[in-house]
Chain A
Amino acid sequence: MTGTTAAATAAPRGARVTSRRRRTIALVLLLVALAAASAASICLGAKAIPLHVVLDALTSPQDIEQHIIVRSLRVPRTVFGLLVGIALGIAGTLIQGHTRNPLADPGLLGVTQGAAFAVVTAVVVLGVDSLYGYVWFAVLGALAASVTVFALGSAGGRGASPVTLALAGAAVSFFLHGLTSAIVLVDERGMDVFRFWSVGSIAARDYAIAGQIAPFLIVGLILAAINTPGMNTLALGDDVAVALGTNVARTRVLGVLAITLLTGAAVAACGPIAFVGLVVPHLARAITGPDYRWVVPFAGLIGAVLLLVADVLGRVLASDAFEVGIMLALIGAPVFIVLVRRTRLVRL
């Protein structure tokens, strides 16, 4: 709640230095963790592959089994873990900041339910049955839903306020979810596709999909970066933000666009992975404090680490019986609860 500018000027010099040092140390640790998680994600699995073989496979590939596994399965899976983790972590931070609501997740703008509805409609009504087909429908559905939410949330007044944005998002999400359930309950084929799609997984996705979603992710990340300074003033409330010279409407539109692109791309590629976007911002804020210029990059890194670790654990402990979303929540949620109980919370 405390504005960064106010905190920075009011805090004694010593406190400022320690908090900066703390953030730097945390950043280094996170980068190390990310490297370790990526390495583990490539090396470990149903068949463990030693690191030097992995390096060989990447530098001088041959047609042997281990090299093929590394290049065609492990590396893509790791890349998707990284991309989706970063996207969801950052999107979650933005949506919680814009709605000023700790319960907001990246799907709140209707993105996830819009994508789910579009995928199910594509399967049942249009008979689409390739994964590439789903991706485009998911992206379209996500975009359409979030545009609707934003339009409803800002209808009849001076731009979307945090409360109406959150409520409009919830209303549209539930509405679409009702429609999706109706279709799925009537059509068994839709049901079968839907229940696997709705678990969320980064396995068995190939580079073609990465290519499809990459432009959305890149634009989304750029918009998120532009959006961050404005978030700091929005955190003080819309009125104060206006008084400080922030263009609230523009900041909000930018934020919503960034959230939609990031989440839409992640959901389209890997299905809904719910927990990351909801939890990671709280973890990031606990480390960095309320300054969004720090929270946003931290959230991206933490998201990637969390997703990769969960995926590796799912592979190693349960030989892939658990999809990443499930593993994430079953391991991540208890850890999150312990953290919430122990640390002093940074409020939105």
Chain B
Amino acid sequence: MTSTRRTVRLGGLSFLLRPRLVVVTASGVAALLLVVALNLGIGSVHIGLSDVVSALFGAGDPLHHNIIWELRMPRTLVGILVGGALGVAGAIFQSIARNPLASPDVLGVTWGAAAAAVGVIVLEGTRGQITGGASTIGVPLAGLLGGLLAGVLLYVLSWRRGIDGYRMVLIGIGIAAIGYNLVYWLLSVGDVDDAARAVTWLVGNLADVGWDGVAPVSIALAVLVPVAVIAGRTLGGLQYGDDTARGLGIRVDRARGALLLLAVALAAVATSATGPIAFVALATPQITLRLAGTAQPPLVGSMVFGALLTVSADLVVRTVPLLSGLPVGVLTAVLGAPYLVFLFIRRRREERV
């Protein structure tokens, strides 16, 4: 963009202020707040916007207060957190790989999580080997471990005197293929009810989320997201290729390795909380990049739009009667894809990540 860019210096820190990026991110936040308020207000009991606000601050009808805090808030919060995490993870993956198709599912993290989680679902169903309390913790925990395992494999196997984006992408394809096929094998051995439950999980679901689901995700993200945003400062240099990045004084291998692990952790935590919510990690970095007119996906912007897309999809699932009961992951792609297409039809120019 040719708009005015200004360097801001705060003590030892300096960064570039892009007015358009700031405006886009701020409007994203505003839209997110609106959608969140609607999501809290609309449901079997309708609560007006002003009542939502007063209930949030402890005033107003106690019934409203209960409905919002006990039922709708955890679901909305997890939607925000998971969507945001996926947005950041996608932006990092796409920047490291310098490939707009790179996302946690293409690179295998999601499929590692899915294979482990579906394994638990099928085992506890048909075989009855896992029951009761273990099964409620079992699926998210298995998902987290599976995702992290796939991510660590991606890191270890891609490491050969440093992480090379191209090699990482190819290794990721291999890992994703193993996870993906394990999942489909498990689906075809399990009986049809387990398979249906597993598919519901595989599409990404916010319906069963309660406060006990909020805590682990929010703790993990509270640590990971700020670290990622700070570490992500080197991404700007990495986009020019290894030699130039070294010339700019970036420790290329260390920076890329650390960012990769951060993105893996973000994606694994998000996936374990709700199941893989499709398309958010792939699309929101590309949407944000096009809206903000930057050369590569901005991390904070991707986070905001990831959350916005996820919560909007949840709002649609909850309010449109025909779709009620469907998992949110079905709608993220149905809502997000036309918008992404609209953006690159409207503003065509050669864009690279």
> What's the Cα separation between A104 and B169 when bound, in Å?
11
Chain A residue numbers with a CB within 8 Å of B187 are 195
Closest to B159 in A: A341
A39 within 8 A of partner (CB): no
Type the 1/0 row for A260-292, where 1 means its CB is closer than 8 Å to any CB of B: 000000000000001100110010000000000
Among B100, B192, B338, the residue within 8 A (CB) of A166 is B100
Q: Say yes or no: A334 contacts B178, CB within 8 Å.
A: yes
Contact (Cβ within 8 A) A103 B169: yes
Q: Are B341 and A171 in contact (CB under 8 A)?
A: yes
- A337 to B168 Cα, complex, angstroms: 10
Asked if A129 is at the interface (CB within 8 A of a chain B CB), the reply is no
Mostly, the A contact residues are helix
Give me the interface of B with A, judged by CB distance under 8 Å: 99-102, 106, 157, 160, 166-167, 169-171, 173-175, 177-178, 180-182, 184-185, 187-188, 192, 195-196, 199-200, 203, 278-279, 282-283, 286, 323, 326-327, 329-334, 336-338, 340-341, 344-346, 348, 350-352
Contact between B283 and A171, CB atoms less than 8 A apart: yes
B-binding segment of A57-65, A67-75, A139-147, A176-184: A176-184
How far does the alpha carbon of A107 sit from the alpha carbon of B148 in the complex, in Å?
Answer: 27
Task: Mark A167-204 against chain B: 1 for CB-CB distance below 8 A, else 0.
Answer: 11011101101110110111010011001101100000
Cα A178 to Cα B351 in complex, Å, equals: 27
Cross-chain contact B185 with A166 (CB below 8 angstroms): no
Of B175, B185, B199, B344, which one neighbours A191 at CB under 8 angstroms? B199
Pairwise interchain contact B341-A340, C-beta atoms closer than 8 A: no
How far is A320 from B174 in the complex, measured between Cα atoms in Å?
Answer: 23
| Nearest-CB residue, chain B, relative to A192 | B192
A243 vs chain B, min Cβ distance (A): 16
- Asked if B188 and A323 make an inter-chain contact with CB atoms under 8 angstroms apart, the answer reads yes
Please determine whether B174 and A168 come into contact, CB atoms closer than 8 angstroms: no
- A333 interface residue (CB < 8 Å to B): yes
Q: Closest CB of chain A to B164's CB: distance in Å?
A: 8
12 CB < 8 A contacts A-B: A102-B169, A103-B99, A152-B341, A156-B346, A161-B350, A163-B351, A170-B101, A175-B333, A181-B203, A182-B330, A186-B326, A195-B199
Residues of B near A172 (CB, < 8 A) are 337, 341
Is A175 touching B345 in the complex (CB atoms < 8 A)? no
Give the size category of A's interface with B.
35 or more
Q: A32 on the interface (CB 8 Å rule)?
A: no
**In A89-123, which residues have CB < 8 Å from any B CB?**
101-104, 108
Query: Which chain B residues lie closer than 8 Å to A152 at the CB level?
Result: 341, 345
Contact of B344 with A174 in the complex, beta carbons under 8 Å: no
Number of A-B contacts (CB under 8 A): 161
Find chain A residues with CB under 8 A from B167 CB. 340-341, 345
**Contact residues in A for B195 (Cβ distance below 8 Å):** 191, 195
Q: Would you give the shortest CB distance from B352 to chain A, in whole angstroms?
A: 6
Distance from A142 Cβ to chain B, minimum over Cβ atoms (Å): 18
Is the CB–CB distance between A103 and B331 below 8 Å?
A: no
1/0 contact string of A327-340 vs chain B (CB within 8 Å): 01110111011001
Bound Cα distance A175, B282 (Å): 13
B341 to chain A, nearest CB (A): 5
Q: Report the Cα distance A177→B187, complex, angstroms.
A: 17
Q: Which residues of A contact B106 (CB under 8 A)?
A: 103
Residues in B neighbouring A195, C-beta threshold 8 A: 184, 187-188, 195, 199
Interface core residue of B181, B185, B283, B326 (most chain A CB under 10 Å) = B181
Task: Say yes or no for A155: interface residue by CB 8 A criterion.
Answer: yes
A322 to B181, CA, bound (A): 10
A327 to chain B, nearest CB (A): 8
Does A312 have its Cβ within 8 Å of any Cβ on chain B?
no
Do B199 and A341 have beta carbons less than 8 Å apart?
no
Tell me whether A191 and B196 are in contact (CB under 8 A). yes
In the complex, which of the residues B160, B200, B344 contacts A168, with contact meaning CB atoms closer than 8 Å? B344
> Do A174 and B279 form a contact, CB below 8 Å, given A157-B348, A279-B173, A323-B188?
yes
Closest to A158 in B: B348
Q: Tell me if A164 is interfacial: C-beta within 8 Å of chain B.
A: yes
Contact of B278 among A101, A174, A322 (CB under 8 A): A174
**B334 lies within 8 A of A179 (CB):** yes
Q: Which chain A residue lies CB-closest to B173?
A: A278
Which A290-348 residues have C-beta < 8 A from chain B?
Answer: 322-323, 325-326, 328-330, 332-334, 336-337, 340-341, 345, 347
Q: Measured between C-beta atoms, what is the minimum distance from B196 to chain A in Å?
A: 6
Cα distance A108–B286 in the bound complex, in angstroms: 17
Q: Which residue of B lies closest to A155 (CB)?
A: B345
